[in-house]
Amino acid sequence: MAKKQFKAESKRLLDLMINSIYTHKEIFLREIISNASDAIDKLYYLTLTENTGISREDFFIRITLDKDANTIIISDNGIGMNKDEMENNLGTIAKSGSLQFKNENADKMDAKDAIDIIGQFGVGFYSAFMVSSKIQVISKRYGEETANLWESTGADGYSIAPCEKDSVGTEIILYLKDDTEDEKYSDYLKEYKIKGLIKKYSDYIRYPIKMNVEKHRMKEATEEQKADENFTPEYESYREDEVLNSMVPIWKKSKGDITNEDYNQFYKEKFFDFEDPARVIHTNVEGVSTYNSLLYIPARAPFNYYTREYEKGLQLYSSGVLIMDKCADLLPDHFSFVKGLVDSQDLSLNISREMLQHDRQLKAIAVRLEKKIKSELLEMLNTDREKYEKFFENFGLQLKFGAYNGYGQNKDAVQELLLFYSSSEKKLVTLSEYVSRMKEDQKYIYYACGESIDKLDKMPQTELLKDKGYEILYCTDEVDEFAIKMLGTIEEKQFKSVSSEDLGIEESSEEKEAAEKQKEENKELLEAMKEALGDKVSEVRVSQRLKSHPVCLASAGDLSIEMEKVLNAMPNASEKISAEKVLEINANHNVFQALKEAFAGDKEKVKVYAELLYNQALLIEGLSIEDPIEFSNAICSLM
């Protein structure tokens, strides 16, 4: 029989197809199975509109592995193809019979019956050439008498000839390529491999995918053997049909039919967790973009969550067929801990990873998912605080990174979700809770950064604020202050570090006067100290915030002392940076008396004292002192 040439553009396309569109060769099976499912859908649709005498239960897809012939056969009892259809649909690449069917029947179908056919790109079939040296398609169209055989070895063309086939439907015979060093095509003849691929990509195809598989069982023992106490049972192998797919995806069921146990079980199996999730978010959306999503918030951060190895992403399905295992574009970084899947019939099965990234539908879905996740987290925060705190313990750090990353472009998405430890409430609070408790005369949201709640509680800089009854947020994560800087304001209130130069506290006129007086009286002493310390500090001044502690450091510029620590500890910090520091001294402390006396008598002593107090302040901040030996010698000499 004469060989027909693929249309010219098809030839080139086929080449491209086979070699570059798909990232993984193994998806060929998904494509062929999806086509079979589409073909069954089409016949099923006919059974709804005309009397075919076929019932839904009769439909199935079968996979047969033939090691001797080196073939995989995928057969279905769907609508089949006649000669013309073979010519049109298999002979022209990028022509989809399925899309045409969908368009032609669109008006006739009402929403209930609308069948969501997978194919519409007209390239999936050719992916089988990635693993096959030759493909035969034997098909008999519903309502027709003759069957046809389509055959091709790839880009050089195809032939069609009449053949025998008893039943309606299609049989695809893939002649596998020979194994090479890089690629073991013969793996596709192994039952476990096929089972795995069906589970992975085609588990939710709505018709049973059957395969005759090898199984093992214990041989029935004879009476004689049973009597023999040394008898060890024997095993025998046998073959049996098995349905490889589970068919109904849990996310397509209505919520009323799914128990918590179902949701949790599915999560644990699918996403390899041994703990139940903290929250399940199941949504069916219809409208501009139509999709089902089933999302989970894990109860615990995976061990590699805060490392580079962790890959965010949701599984992406198109009408129950897996397109991508980890679609990163569906999740913003600040919600990267979410696990789950999205199924949308709007997405096309054949688009590759690279093309998906520009998919408008996908973006629209991602935007809605982000909103949904946020509202669910807020709901958890408002109705189950204990659970939320546990969640925050695991993933709060990521939310804070979210506020900070990208110059704060996502801060609106996360700021309501953040918790900080409160000095007055002695527990985690939200920022708006803080603002709602602010005192009438309180200008700022105060925060303190340090290693631990304990240390922060003892921090000299917090004394005045606590005296005033102001609440302070204790920040113990390195990212905290960076995140806070990006947040900028909450309900129009700005943040203020307890270590910043000016705490913005209203002073009475007497207080102001007293401070002025103190400053004036001690001007020379303070100048002498500043001179002794040189560039280490930008100023030495009498403190308004210290009550019982002798000294502390305040930072003057944008860069805080805490940020200096964090930035200098970064592995790639090339040059040490340094915050602008102000040394504050408590004028009501005994130490100040000693300073004054020294200044009146031995001016050299002032230098030593200044150095000592500065070093003390460094130690309180958790910064290291330049010369510890000199420091301890100075203390000893004083004693």
Q: Which residues are annotated as a binding site for ATP?
A: 31, 35, 76, 81, 89, 95-97, 120-125, 170, 353
The residue range among 16-24, 27-35, 597-605, 624-632 that interacts with Mg ion, by the rule CB under 5 A, is 27-35
- Which member of 10, 35, 70, 461 binds ligand ADP (CB under 6 A)? 35
373: exposed, middle or buried (Cβ count in 10 Å: 0-12, 13-18, 19+)? buried
Question: Which residues fall within 8 angstroms of residue 319, CB to CB, at 6 or more apart?
Answer: 116, 117, 118, 343, 345, 349
The residue range among 79-87, 257-265, 472-480, 508-516 that interacts with ligand ADP, by the rule CB under 6 A, is 79-87
- Which member of 26, 31, 343, 611 binds ligand ADP (CB under 6 A)? 31
**Residue spans of beta strands (DSSP E) within 375-461:** 419-422, 428-430, 445-449
Q: Token pair 């039943």 is at which residue?
A: 167
- 340 Rama sector, left if φ>0, alpha if ψ -120 to 50, beta otherwise: left
CA distance 120 to 100: 8
Residue list, annotated binding site: 31, 35, 76, 81, 89, 95-97, 120-125, 170, 353
Q: How far is the CB of 349 from Mg ion (least distance, A)?
A: 7
For position 616 contacting ligand ADP by CB under 6 A, the verdict is no
For position 39 contacting ligand ADP by CB under 6 A, the verdict is yes
The residue range among 72-80, 276-284, 475-483, 543-551 that interacts with ligand ADP, by the rule CB under 6 A, is 72-80
Q: Which is nearer to ligand ADP, 194 or 582 (CB)?
A: 194
For position 97 contacting ligand ADP by CB under 6 A, the verdict is yes
415 binds, among Mg ion, ligand ADP, none (CB under 5 to 8 A by kind): none
Q: How far is the CB of 297 from ligand ADP (least distance, A)?
A: 35
- Which member of 71, 77, 82, 89 binds ligand ADP (CB under 6 A)? 89
Phi, psi of 354 (to 5 degrees): -65, -40
For position 124 contacting Mg ion by CB under 5 A, the verdict is yes
Q: How far is the CB of 113 from ligand ADP (least distance, A)?
A: 20
Side chain identity at residue 156, one-letter code: D
For position 91 contacting ligand ADP by CB under 6 A, the verdict is no
For position 119 contacting Mg ion by CB under 5 A, the verdict is yes
For position 345 contacting ligand ADP by CB under 6 A, the verdict is no
CA distance 138 to 511: 97
CA distance 597 to 603: 10
Angle, helices 590-600 vs 603-621, to 10°: value is: 150
Question: Residue 143 in 3-state DSSP?
Answer: coil
Q: Which is nearer to ligand ADP, 96 or 344 (CB)?
A: 96
Tokens of residue 2, six digits? 């004469």
- Which member of 70, 98, 148, 410 binds ligand ADP (CB under 6 A)? 98
- Quickly list H helices, 244-297: 260-270
Q: How far is the CB of 393 from ligand ADP (least distance, A)?
A: 47
- Which member of 10, 77, 148, 170 binds ligand ADP (CB under 6 A)? 170
For position 320 contacting Mg ion by CB under 5 A, the verdict is no
Q: Which is nearer to Mg ion, 81 or 281 (CB)?
A: 81
Q: Which is nearer to Mg ion, 124 or 408 (CB)?
A: 124
Size of site (CB under 6 A) for ligand ADP = 23
C-alpha distances in Å from residue 359, one per residue of 8, 198, 289, 364, 639: 29, 26, 12, 9, 75
22 binds, among Mg ion, ligand ADP, none (CB under 5 to 8 A by kind): none
Give the residue from 570, 560, 396 showing the smallest Cα distance to 404.
396
Opening angle at CA 210, ends 205 and 212, nearest 5:
155
Contact call for residues 229 and 251 (beta carbons, < 8 A): no
- Which member of 63, 90, 472, 610 binds ligand ADP (CB under 6 A)? 90
36 binds, among Mg ion, ligand ADP, none (CB under 5 to 8 A by kind): ligand ADP
- Which member of 63, 123, 472, 587 binds ligand ADP (CB under 6 A)? 123
Q: Which helix (H) or strand (E) holds 308?
A: none
From the CB of residue 224, how many other CB atoms can be counted at a distance below 10 Å?
A: 8
Give the residue from 282, 20, 52, 6 showing the smallest Cα distance to 127.
20
Contact call for residues 12 and 82 (beta carbons, < 8 A): no
Size of site (CB under 5 A) for Mg ion = 3
DSSP one-letter code for 64 = E
394 binds, among Mg ion, ligand ADP, none (CB under 5 to 8 A by kind): none
Question: Residue 162 in 3-state DSSP?
Answer: strand
DSSP one-letter code for 254 = -
351 binds, among ligand ADP, Mg ion, none (CB under 5 to 8 A by kind): none
Q: Token pair 């669910």 is at which residue?
A: 376
- Which member of 119, 277, 320, 550 binds ligand ADP (CB under 6 A)? 119
For position 320 contacting ligand ADP by CB under 6 A, the verdict is no
For position 36 contacting ligand ADP by CB under 6 A, the verdict is yes
Contact call for residues 185 and 177 (beta carbons, < 8 A): yes
For position 35 contacting Mg ion by CB under 5 A, the verdict is yes
- Which member of 21, 77, 124, 526 binds ligand ADP (CB under 6 A)? 124
123 binds, among Mg ion, ligand ADP, none (CB under 5 to 8 A by kind): ligand ADP
Q: How far is the CB of 16 from ligand ADP (least distance, A)?
A: 14
86: exposed, middle or buried (Cβ count in 10 Å: 0-12, 13-18, 19+)? buried
Binding site for ligand ADP (CB under 6 A): 31, 35-36, 39, 76, 78-81, 89-90, 96-99, 119-125, 170
> What residue ranges bind Mg ion (CB under 5 A)?
35, 119, 124
